[in-house]
A and B are shown apart, each in its own frame.
Chain A
Amino acid sequence: DVVMTQTPPSLSVAIGQSVSISCKSSQSLVYSDGKTYLHWLLQSPGRSPKRLIYQVSNLGSGVPDRFSGTGSQKDFTLKISRVEAEDLGVYYCAQTTHFPPTFGAGTKLELK
């Protein structure tokens, strides 16, 4: 299985600060169609996960443009500009390029 390694495991931030989360995969996530199926999810406390970004950099519907995703091959980054209170929770990267789909261990974003 493709191993997804997220760093850091946790982040303590102040409202208004910008942060970045790294996700590295054990294999290239470029599929045979040329697309890269790397996604970012947010699980707010006590809630179901919500997809923020799909295919590396495409913002999900209704997701603020404070969120952005970059990367290629095996190295990806989620950036949150000007963190707001509603952004707190656990962020996961996930890949659906290779079978079976796999998730990172998560990065917990907390208030400083």
Chain B
Amino acid sequence: EVQLVESGGGLVQPGGSLKLSCVASGFTFRDYWMNWVRQAPGKTMEWIGDIKPDGSNTNYAPSVKNRFTISRDNAKSILYLQMSNMRSDYTATYYCVRGWFHYWGQGVMVTVSS
């Protein structure tokens, strides 16, 4: 069974940083593109970015480029999202997603507030 379990969410001040993790199991992690998608409260989804299976290439939404970094550890089957210089409109549930929205984690809440 495919499982994606995010962690690392919480409250962070504007301008602060936070790193999310997503532990993958039930499939060969190193074979798949992985994505991060977020959903602000009561809103639709917003794609944040993705990373190639071998980690050699990443793509980001313009709204987070230069603020967010996606990386992965294929030996440990873990996906990461490093967020910096955060803004209040980054408050959302962040999802780890395999491929083009095939499998989703349970999500982790991030609140940016002073």
Cβ of B29 under 8 Å from chain A: no
Size of B's binding interface in residues, CB under 8 A? 16
Decide: B46 and A103 in contact? CB cutoff 8 A: yes
Contact A99-B59, Cβ < 8 Å, known A48-B95, A48-B107, A104-B44: yes
Cβ of B105 under 8 Å from chain A: yes
Bound form: Cα–Cα A49–B35 in Å: 14
Can you list 19 contacts pairing A with B, beta carbon distance less than 8 Å? A39-B101, A48-B104, A48-B106, A49-B45, A49-B95, A49-B101, A51-B103, A54-B100, A94-B45, A96-B100, A96-B101, A100-B47, A100-B62, A101-B47, A101-B100, A103-B44, A103-B46, A103-B47, A106-B44
Cβ of A76 under 8 Å from chain B: no
Decide: A50 and B104 in contact? CB cutoff 8 A: yes
Decide: A92 and B104 in contact? CB cutoff 8 A: no
Decide: A94 and B95 in contact? CB cutoff 8 A: no
